[in-house]
Chains A and B, each alone.
Chain A
Amino acid sequence: MNEVAGRRTGVLAFVSIALLIVLVSRLWFLQVMTAPEYQQTATANRTRDIYLESPRGRILDAQGRVLAGRRESLVVTLDWTQLRDLDSEERSEVFGSVAAELNLAGLKTKRGDLADTYGRASDGSLKPVVVAEDVDEATWVSFSERNFPGFDVERRWVRTYPYGEIGAHIIGYTRTVASQELANELNVGNPLQYYLPGDELGATGIERLFESTLRGIPEKRRVEIDAQNRIIRTAEILQEGEPGQDIVLSIDIDLQWTAEQILAEELADARAREACDTCEFAHVAEAGSLVALDVNDGSVVALASVPSYDPSDFIFGISADQFAFLRDRPDQPLFDRSIRGLYPAGSTFKPITAYAALTSGLRTEWEIWEDEGVYLIEDCTAGCRFQNAGAAVMGPVDMRESLERSSDTYYFAIGDEFWQNTGSYGDTPIQDAARAFGLGEASGILLPDEGVGRVPDAENRIEEFGTGSRPWTTGDNINLSIGQGDLLVSPLQLANLYAMLATGGTRYQPRIVDVALDGETGEVTNEFRVIVAHDEPLEPTALNAIRDGLFRVPRTGTGQDAFAGFPLDRFPIAGKTGTAEVANKADFALFAGFGPGLTPQYSVAAVLEEAGFGGDAAAPAVRRLFEYLLGVRETPTAPLAGEEPPPLEPEPQPEETAAGETVDEAGLDQAAGAGADSGADQ
């Protein structure tokens, strides 16, 4: 080697040592000086925090029967984060294979459906989206063998509604958290119950109002993932999961079903009945409500709203078409008429007018009013004539008879006189009484979206209808006196009003939720106590007169046909029919009452839309429900979804006839239950 080469080799060696030092220095910097930083990055890189939804709490009836339950289902899920790196052709191929696999398993799926789901999920959903539910084990095995990218089979908790349509409005239904925005909103101030898009969320009814109780605490897990976002293993449990609490309701599902069944049958009867000759509108009679309360503590015994829907349809997310169909159906099955339906009270309002008249001194209980069938306002120019239904002339009536026979002119006079003598008996005596009985305000039942109703007066008319509205006149007072005009009440408010007549002044907040139970131990975690909403004894003389009148209604008054054959001697029922006029529709039939006797237990209210006279359509529904409530008939067992419903009216219970009490057997509905075996139940 020559000298130049030797020297230059030295230079080369020097340069390479320098390069080596550069590399070692860099290594020293990365691996020793800043290593902790990179270790942190590496941890964040390969771990992800995931949440596993805990089983949702159940909703139980008073006997502990499951109204809303849960089960585990094998579902096929799509994780878009594993599909995004494929090109569209590869993705389409995967969708094709998965669709083929699912179709093979009998789950009809189109490639396009999967592509749509992918498109929707890729807005950032962190949780794999369900594309097929309730797959069998064989499909599970075949999916795990074929290992389609982005598709997996996992166990998920799903809701069950064993009783289908029964009590659906009370129970409600769940939907899925549709977007990250919604999840973020839900998570504000509620980090423990952490929601993700795709999670279950109560949408209506108890499911919605008790969302935070029913939803458990999801398990938060730190998992190790690989570069393809596949979960390798669980690294750490960051938060233990907890199942949701159970909610026990005050209702008995058998009675609830019975009430719904009675209501549906009475509506069918009303549809079949010809509207009166002079009546303009046919009996549509598709919808109504039947409410029963325990007057002693306000517990809801039954809260029926017809028509109903099956909350099971919502379990895996309802299709937009199906939902639109339910929402837009003219008979509004999603609408809970018992608490949200607002109706004119009609004659069922008369006890309030009577109470106002008696307590203000405008009338005395025995004062006779000559009912001429028509009432004319004095010194009046237009809209001066008011008349009884069919302008029937009733002759001389006192307070009791006015209720018994439902004289309108008796109340027209009271309404007119209160207005003509404003100030002498208070400014708004009828409205004051109505409010004392709980009208015009939410009852406070623990269900969402309760209707408030309206007790109209001169002031709130302007608030509600604007300053340009027609001023309050004596005609408005006359309308109000018989529960017409702008007055609106919900069936629940009506039942609660009659419950207050039963208690003599105590009005409870209707109570539908009894207790909440720990999801694991079943221990009571929260007791929903009886809440008194109003407690001021009613004036005894007035109350007695009104009660007397109401007890006469089923015996000899407007309810006597409906109550024919009912053991009124043993179980005296007080009630009032109502026939509310609604513009451009057949009359709405109402009946509200309480019983039995002077130690009443239940109050019941029925509203049947476009069903004609209250005595014809609503009173029978109340009568029949009382038969079950009071044990005259044995309550049948509510059928589970898909089961054949039992006959509603089996034979009367044998021990009652055996006790030798006076039961007017001949009067009982003989047509039904003739061949039914009543002993077969229980």
Chain B
Amino acid sequence: MTAIATWPRLRREPATAKLGSVDWSLILFVLLQIPVGLLAIYSATRGEVGLGQVSRQIVFVGVGLVALAVVSAIDYQHLRHFLGLIQLATVTMLVLVLLIGVERSGTRGWFVIAGISLQPAEFAKIGLILSLAAVFTGRTGNAEAPRFTAGLSILAAVVLLVLLERETGSVLVYCFIALGIFYIAGVPVRWVLLLIVSGVAAFSVVLTSGMLEDYQQARLTSFIGDPSDPVVREQSYNQRQSVTAVGSGGLTGAGIFEGPQTQLDFVPAQETDFIFTVIAEETGFVGAVTVLGIQALIMGRILRASRLSRDGFGTLICVGVFMMLLIQTFQNVGMALKLMPITGIPLPFVSYGGSSLLTSLVAVGLVQSVVIHRHRGTPDE
């Protein structure tokens, strides 16, 4: 009995445990948000290139959901073993894209393979989260300073590579991911504050050093910049059009596919950076708050997962993913509402863009893995 009886039990027990502990709410919220994005993309692009962009995005949804499932199934602890490989792949991608990448809207961060554009800076977020989470929970050495230094080094390496691609938006996301992980990992608050201060200082230096392209500088400074500068004016035009669209949406919106500003192309990049504008114009305050609410619920589930985690590694992975979604959501929506300067950061699960969607779904898969595998093995702390 034992042999025969235990074999299936051994096989079945973890399986039922896994399925039982899947965070279905998290899946549900993500599955709610994705169609919202598809609808908004369709509204923003219809009449231009037919269904091209929507169908492309649907393909990525499919691929992303499979990736989510696969990543969920893998015990995140095993990822430690592949960490070197993941880091190598990340760095290789980031270096390769500098060499053979395609330049698109000013950033040299795109691979185009068989008509599909991929953005390594997006995928690098996963590598960064895993690397930082690992650094602070590794078995070697418990001293805070060396870990902090190691974490900073990893961050600096990725930031540097991505800055060379001129992906300023992603750099911001990396910094926030790192900040979140440092903070939760127990790095003293004064160090975190010091990091923020030096980050702001470095940003100011970059801004004034002429390292950025004109348009990038204009994007960032148009927020406060000189309105007589034509580049600034164009950037602030975009934001003004966006605010006009959002404001004219009113309480209940102009109706799906009925938003005049959206349908008449007044808001630029509305399927990517300004996707929230489409939602706000066409579904109004009610729709906009609903979408923000779903986004908040997703993040709430992730924060819950970080608390449920059986170990620090899992906690920090969840915190990294949480920070990634938080900063992207706040920056993207804030930009559409003219609260934040313009940077090309997509709204997770919603904006058009395969790399971003894939990254977000893989990140959710990681969280799911932390949730599913929380009962196995022993915490490493």
Contact = CB atoms under 8 A, between A and B. Distances in A.
A11 B306 CA distance: 14
A153 to B, nearest CB: 23
A27 interface: yes
A320 to B, nearest CB: 35
B245 interface: yes
A679 B116 CA distance: 85
Interface residues of B, number: 44
A227 B264 contact: yes
B296 interface: yes
Nearest to A228: B265
B243 A30 contact: yes
A227 B330 contact: no
Given A5-B186, A42-B248, A22 B303 contact: no
B183 interface: yes
Contact of B184 (A9, A30, A226): A9
Interface string A579-612: 0000000000000000000000000000000000
A231 to B, nearest CB: 11
B175 interface: no
B315 interface: yes
Most A C-beta atoms less than 10 A away, residue of B248, B249, B296: B248
A141 interface: no
B138 interface: no
Contacts of B180: 12
Interface string B308-341: 0100100100010010001000100110010100
Given A23-B330, A35-B247, A227-B266, A30 B306 contact: no
A39 B284 CA distance: 12
Interface in B257-292: 260-261, 264-266, 280, 284-285, 288-289, 292
B184 A225 contact: no
A11 B183 CA distance: 10
Interface stretch (A13-21, A247-255, A548-556): A13-21
A37 interface: yes
Contact of A31 (B184, B250, B333): B250
Contacts of A30: 243, 246-247, 280, 337
A35 B296 CA distance: 25
Given A6-B307, A46-B266, A16 B260 contact: no
A39 B248 contact: yes
B381 interface: yes
Contacts of B330: 19, 23
A45 B250 contact: no
Given A4-B186, A5-B184, A39-B247, A23 B333 contact: yes
B126 interface: no
Nearest to B250: A35
A46 B258 CA distance: 13
Nearest to B246: A30
Interface of A: 1-2, 4-6, 8-9, 11-13, 16-17, 19-20, 22-24, 26-28, 30-32, 34-35, 37-39, 41-42, 45-46, 224-228, 232
Interface of B: 180, 183-186, 241, 243-251, 260-261, 264-266, 280, 284-285, 288-289, 292, 296, 299-300, 303, 306-307, 309, 312, 315, 319, 322, 326, 330, 333-334, 337, 339, 381
> What 10 pairs between A and B have smallest CB-CB spacing?
A38-B247, A42-B248, A226-B264, A31-B285, A227-B265, A35-B250, A39-B248, A30-B247, A38-B248, A26-B337
5 contacts: A30-B337, A34-B247, A38-B248, A41-B247, A226-B266
